Structure formats: C-alpha cells, structure tokens
Amino acid sequence: MRTAILELLKHNAGQYISGEEISRNLNVSRTAVWKHIRALKQSGYDIEAHSRLGYALRQNTDRLLPAEIRAQLTSAVLGQEIHYFCEVDSTNNEAKKLAANGCPEGTIVVAETQVTGRGRLARSWFSPFGKGIWLSVVLRPPFGPMDAAKCTLMAAVGVNRAINAVTGVGCGIKWPNDILWNNRKVVGILTEMSAELDVINYVVIGMGINVSIEHFPSELAPIAASLSVATGRSISRVKLLAAILDELENVYVLVKKSGFAPVLAAWRKESITLGRQVDVRGFDRSFSGVAIDIDADGALLVKTPQGVERVLAGDVSISPVVSK
C-alpha cells in the first residue's frame, strides 16, 4: 500500500492530492493513508501536508532513498541490502561494522552527508549534504589479501564506466584511485579490508563522487570538480548510483571469472597516468619519472634515470604538460 501511495504522489509530483482522494483511489481508510504518509516522510520523502489541500510530494527530490535506488538497479548482488543515512560519521565506518557483524556481500551504505568522511593517507573527505554520492560497498572476494589493492582499480573502472554512461563526461583514472575531469578530481576511492594471513574476511570499497558541489573549500577549489559543473546540467544521483552498482558488479563478476587481467587492461585504457611525467611521494622516499605501466599486482611502474621503480602505495601527482 505504501508503494501505491508513493506512486500516486509521484504521479502528481508538486501538486496536492487530498487524503480523501487517495483513500478512494486505493480503497484504504484515511487514517491508514495518514500513517503511510508519516512513514514515507520518516524514510526521507519530502512530502508536504496541508490541512485543506492534502499531500504533495516535492518535485525534484533526488534523495538516495533505498526504494528509489532499487527501482533503478539491475544488479543481482550489489545493493540488495541498502543502509541509508541522512547523516553519518563515515559510510566506510558503518559498512565495516555491518561487515564485521556478518552482513551479506553486496550490502551498501549511502549517506546524504558525512561528518568525518575519510580519504586516503589520513585525509578528510568533503561530503556536503545532498551534493554527492557517499557510498560504501561490502565485498567478500574469494581471493587472498595480496589481491585486495586491485579492488581499488576494479572500482575505478566500474565507476568511470558508469559516469560515462550516465553523464557522457569523459573522465580519466589517475593511479590508483582518483577519477579526474579536466585534471580535477571528481571521484576518490578508499578501500579498506579485514583479513587473515591467507583469506579476506571482507573488503569495503568507499567511493566519494562529487555530483553537484559548486563551492569547494579553498584548499580543494583548484584541484576538485563536480560532474554537474563538467556537464553544465543537473545529474540524477539515484540514476548514477544505480549505474555504479551495476557496472561495479559487472567488473567484479568478470574478475571472479577471468582474474584481474581484463580489468587491468581496461584500467590501462582509461588511465591518464600512463605515459606522463609523475612525482611520487612514498612513505620513505620521493622521486620523479615517467609512469610506463601497471604490473599484474596493480603496482605503478615508474621509469627513472636509476631504473624502473615499482610503486604499490603512496601519492602520485602528474606533472602538467608543458607546451613548447
């Protein structure tokens, strides 16, 4: 009944429909209508109630509500269990708690805003309300901990494909986990895991997608962008989120069937790092060189005057192309 009431409100989005009309249309009491409306409001739907006019669903609500996401999903595993928060400390923290308590593979956590969103290398992640997709996915991959880092590359390929399919924006992947448009970061990925020596308990892939942020804090303004600015039009977060889950599931299924080689090949094609002069800041050393490839472990291979260096972790910045 709740879904039927919601459909009726959606059909009349932006316009009032009286409680009496809903009750007549769906053959349900007015008290029941009121209770369902209250439950819909509690689950995040923006419904206005007017004593004389009835109920109206605000137009253009693009909340990441589970029912809205499910209606767009085609994936079989990812997103079958959805935990939605208006506000959360970090979706990765929440996903790790759920995973440790045995939630099924494919469980996702989404939030409208994160109070302490986290990035790589202990950085914070700017996560304003309703302006992005702050998402974590729990996987229980059947491979060993050594392969976990490649989940980040796999996620980057999936997210990049979804962005391209939904928005038409051509972005590129910067090793290992950033998606850039016009040299500015639109997506960051933070993969965390719990593992034994030879088996992964779970992997949490956290993705931050800047969808419609217009004003970034001053330290981010020169290096970050959002997709609606890139396209010049508004983007449905629900549609994009569903596409991300579908594409991520496609690449994950491929990895489980054929190993990482096809995904690494796709990553190479979509990379904006390969062939470029890069500066690498590792935990114990810094150097510069030309990024020539990634190896079978997903490590970046950088050619320096001293030889080829293998980079498994650290910060890589791409030097600007100098025009002659």
User: Contact residues for ligand BTN (CB under 6 A)?
Assistant: 90-92, 114, 117-120, 123, 125, 134-136, 177-178, 188-190, 206-208
Is 234 a known ligand-binding residue? no
CB of 286 to ligand BTN, least distance (A): 19
How far apart are alpha carbons 144 and 117 in whole angstroms?
A: 28
Record the tokens describing residue 109, joined without a space.
Answer: 């956590």
Residue of minimal CB distance from ligand BTN?
188
Burial class (CB in 10 A: 0-12, 13-18, 19+), 51: exposed
CB of 192 to ligand BTN, least distance (A): 9
Determine the distance from the C-alpha atom of residue 214 to the mean position of all C-alpha atoms in its chain, rounded to a whole number.
18
CB of 75 to ligand BTN, least distance (A): 19
CB of 96 to ligand BTN, least distance (A): 10
Is 120 a known ligand-binding residue? yes
Q: Which is nearer to ligand BTN, 19 or 188 (CB)?
A: 188
Q: Which is nearer to ligand BTN, 54 or 206 (CB)?
A: 206
Give bridge partners of residue 309 from the DSSP assignment. Answer: 302
Of 104, 57, 62, which Cα lies nearest the Cα of 83? 104
How far apart are alpha carbons 169 and 262 in whole angstroms?
A: 23
Q: How many CB atoms lie within 10 A of CB 229?
A: 19
CB of 35 to ligand BTN, least distance (A): 34
Q: Is 201 helix (H, G, I), strand (E, B) or coil?
A: strand
Q: Which is nearer to ligand BTN, 76 or 100 (CB)?
A: 100
Q: How many CB atoms lie within 10 A of CB 207?
A: 27
Q: Which is nearer to ligand BTN, 163 or 207 (CB)?
A: 207
Is 92 a known ligand-binding residue? yes
Give bridge partners of residue 87 from the DSSP assignment. Answer: 113
Annotated binding-site residue numbers for biotin: 90-92, 114, 118-120, 185
Annotated binding-site residue numbers: 90-92, 114, 118-120, 185
